[in-house]
Amino acid sequence: MLAAPPARASTPPIAPQPERSTQADELPAMVKLVMRPTKGGMFLYLPSIDTDPNSGVTAGIMPVWVVMAASDTVRRIYVTNLTYNPHFGVTAGCEVFSFLSSRSNLHTDLSFSQYWNREVSAAYSTVIPFKREVDFHGHVEYSRDGSKRFFGFGPNSAKSGESNYTLDTINYRVSGSVPLREGSPFNAGVMHAFMANKVGGSFPGIPDTIALYPTVVQDVAQRHHNVSFRGFLNYDTRDSPVTTSRGTYAETFIGMGDKSLFSQYDYYRYGMELKHFRPTIGEDEREPRFISASRVRFENLVGTVPFWLMPNLGGKYSHRGYGEGRYIDQGMFMIEGEQRCRLHAMRISGVMTSFWLDPFLGVGTVFPELDLMQAKYFHPVVGAALRVVGRPQIVGSADFGYGQEGLKVFLDIDYSF
């Protein structure tokens, strides 16, 4: 998977507005059903309904408390949830998004399910003021995910080959980057990551990967560790890495794992990513009425690693018409376009909040070798996303993607693409 280093932690300043919050009787009836303005922000009473292709249907409640700063920006978001899934039982969780300053933020996540699933993680981003400002990002995580899927290798792996496994992961990742010169949109950086994975059995109803594909999962009693290093160069002119409305992001990277450097595998991987956002300005120049967004991703791996470390296609972040990890091979390529259309905008508790309908389409594939990439194995996707955007820090989205295997739905927060 193309694991891009984090974008710059800073966000453009938003001028304070004279009115602190919207009164409840000024809100549309639909908004009043799920939101209550508070003195210091807002409280949302949200249902939680997720139909992730791998996990199945999950339903419950998701109260969200947004705490505002004096400058009419979000200071902290508490996202709690209590849900039920037929495979994992009852799950309780809490995420906290802390915007410590305009250049620093902290995201913590704690989640426990009745069966299989666990997650404890923390991610911190900041800008360190040296001679040249250093973008720093650190992430540490323990997780156990019982919804993983494996269908075999290649762009034509059959749906009938579906199997399920549990991936138990301990990992950390740190990266730092600096501008090539002061004020430059070009940044160069390095990343170091460690991952220790253990593969376990599946939940009932879907064939077990260990049993169905015994040659691709070996030494199941051991943790498989990978130590990797990466160098990257990126170009970033976006107005915000999360609530993006204009600008370009481009990155190229090369990384490696080496047994002499404590990795269990010898390999190298390289790739690139390009994102572009072009606005059509309406009456309100602070936020466009329409945004044309596009992205291209490519990655290639040379060497031998377990299938869960290989480039893959599918899921919310890399082809929304297919489940996560649907296609796996030595390389992947995808291209996608999206037309973002603002339906309505209003100020809620000091936050400029807008509602969007964003149709999209794209194609993608995986390949064993670069010269074996074939157009007949390009898998299409078409669909639309519903987004709620609170500038400059919040995005909530529901993505409905239709591919060759039917409709897929993904929910997420704080992801632009």
Which amino acid type is present at position 55? S
Residue 92 has pLDDT above 90, yes or no: yes
Residue 218 has pLDDT above 60, yes or no: yes
CA distance 250 to 62: 35
Confidence of residue 26 (pLDDT cuts 50, 70, 90): low
Rounded to the nearest integer, the mean pLDDT of the chain is: 88
At 146, which helix (H) or strand (E)?
strand 134-150
pLDDT at 22: 45
Residue 14 has pLDDT above 70, yes or no: no
Token pair for 107: 């995201």
> CB burial class (10 A; 0-12, 13-18, 19+) of residue 223?
middle
* 346-391 per-position pLDDT tens digit: 877 777 889 999 999 999 999 999 999 999 999 999 999 999 898 8
Strand ranges inside 151-184, DSSP E:
163-179
Which amino acid type is present at position 242? V
CA distance 155 to 158: 9
Tell me how far the alpha carbon of residue 103 is from its chain's centroid. 20
Give mean pLDDT, residues 186-210. Answer: 91
Token pair for 264: 């269990």
CA distance 282 to 24: 28
Give mean pLDDT, residues 158-164. Answer: 93
pLDDT at 38: 81
Which stretch, 98-112, 192-206, 209-223, has highest mean pLDDT? 98-112
Residue 6 has pLDDT above 70, yes or no: no
Termini Cα distance of the chain? 15
Give mean pLDDT, residues 263-280. Answer: 95
pLDDT at 49: 81
179-204 burial code (b ≥16 CB/10 A, e <16): beeeeebebebebebbbbbbbbebbe
| Helix segments in 153-252, DSSP class H | 209-212
pLDDT at 18: 37
What is each CA distance from 386 to 137, 312, 338, 381, in whole angstroms? 29, 25, 12, 16
CA distance 278 to 288: 9
pLDDT at 333: 97
More reliable by pLDDT, 313 or 27: 313
CA distance 179 to 181: 5
